[in-house]
Amino acid sequence: MPDDFERMWADLAPVGRSATSGGYNRSPFTAPETELRAWFVEQCRARGLRVEGDSYGNVVGWWDVGAGPAVLTGSHLDSVLDGGAYDGPLGVVSGLAALDLLRSRGVAPARPIGVSVFVEEEGSRFGLACLGSRLATGAVSWDQARELRDRDGVAFGDVVAGGASSSLLSSVGTFVELHVEQGRDLVDRGAAVGVASEIWPHGRYRFDFAGSANHAGTTRMEDRADPMLTYAFTALGANKQARLAGERATFGRVSVEPNGTNAVPSHVTAWLDARCATEESLAALVEGITTQATDRAGRDGTALVVTVESVSPAVAFDAALAARVAADHEGGDWPVIPTQAGHDAGILSAAGIPTAMLFVRNPTGVSHSPAEHAELPDCLVGVSALADTLERLTR
């Protein structure tokens, strides 16, 4: 089994890797991500799994054993821009490796098992995170999804066949996603693996700041309507509000028009990613940031429009299932911990599918970065925890 995991991990390592940063660019339907999904289909076929795809790009490899509702595992193969190797692929590779491990243990599952790949989990290209799983569960309609556009104006509807609905998940009774931890909770607890209790509610909000283009030299400072200034105060204010409340507010993407060194810009668009422990505190944080930004715009002579792009409600994973997944591994129970990161598991859970998540320790806690990492021995503990879970759930 270690060989299988390492061999698969070595297959993926070069795909979409930047020679300069060492990070990964695996946006959906670009060459690297398409290559990864083709690799996944090959791996499924090599294991005799029945491959089923839907018209959105989601794929499942089915081990058609037993009868009744299936247990699905898996994750995603796309990355954020210049992301790490583990966020997504660890869950897919571990799913295949866990299946190999069950077979090598001679386990005969009483229910079918599937390994899934959901497309556009990060929303790095079309802006809506978990797009594939939202479509597969019906949380987003095809009519909404087809109009989502990437930075070059290409519509999602132009890159997939699409259609009204997907039956990919119709036989799924339980979903288990394994994922690299994206914080340091497991490091602090000294545990190789943990189980998710909940996902913080979070959202994406577009801030459009409009001002007036003008000369950087001849325009007196007091005569400007500079949207960059309003944006800068907004980013500082958002950071302070979130920091004081123990919440998260991030402006990680900005676009400036016309983006010239010697001109006051005419327009700044910035995207806020906000996350809080409760839906009420999330709404209050976004309102607080918007109020401060609007006030600042008034003083700068600029105009602000805030557009809610997506809001993902709080997810409380099935507590009994989490306890069952966490119980009695290598002499103890895995810790059950919350996360501030979004996942396809949250979408399936919200769709009423009993869902659990396993996390694998990340020694630095760094994620969405080339520095994201998990040690091989921890990854292998994750694979056997996943195999144990699949075995328990398909007895």
Site residues (vs ligand GLV, CB under 6 A): 122, 129, 341-342
Which residue lies nearer to ligand GLV by CB, 122 or 247?
A: 122
Residue 174 carries which side chain, given as an amino acid letter?
T
User: Please, what is the minimum distance in Å from the beta carbon of residue 235 to ligand GLV?
Assistant: 18
Provide, rounded to whole angstroms, the least separation between the CB of residue 341 and ligand GLV. Answer: 4
CB of 40 to Mn ion, least distance (A): 15
How long a stretch of residues is the chain?
Answer: 395
By a kind-dependent CB cut-off of 5 to 8 A, residue 131 interacts, out of ligand GLV, Mn ion, none, with: none
172-180 and 70-76 strand pairing:
parallel
Q: Rounded to an integer, what is the distance from CA 147 to the centroid of its chain?
A: 21
Instruction: Outline where the chain has alpha helix (H).
Output: 2-12, 31-46, 89-104, 131-137, 142-146, 156-159, 185-189, 227-245, 279-300, 319-326, 344-350, 376-393
Q: Which does 162 bind (CB under 5 to 8 A by kind): ligand GLV, Mn ion, none?
A: none
Could you tell me the smallest distance in angstroms from the CB atom of residue 122 to ligand GLV?
A: 6
Is there a contact between 317 and 357 (Cβ–Cβ < 8 Å)?
A: yes
DSSP 149: B
- Judged by CB, which is closer to ligand GLV: 129, or 191? 129
- DSSP state at residue 332: B
Q: Which is nearer to ligand GLV, 76 or 329 (CB)?
A: 76
Give whichever of 129 and 159 is closer to ligand GLV, judged by the CB atom: 129
- Specify the residue, 63 or 118, whose C-beta has the smaller distance to Mn ion: 118
Q: Per the structure block, which two tokens stand in for 105?
A: 């243990």
Contact pattern from residue 61 through residue 100 relative to Mn ion, giving x for each residue in contact according to CB under 5 A and a dash for the rest: --------------------------xx------------
Contact indicator for 116, 56 with CB cutoff of 8 Å: no
Instruction: Considering the complex, state which of residue 83 and residue 162 has its C-beta at the smaller distance from ligand GLV.
Output: 83
From Mn ion, ligand GLV, none, interface partner of 113 (C-beta below 5 to 8 A by class): none
Q: 355-360 and 172-180: which strand pairing?
A: parallel
Q: Cβ 182 to ligand GLV, closest distance in Å? A: 7
End-to-end CA distance of the chain: 22
Give the residues lining the site for Mn ion (CB under 5 A): 87-88
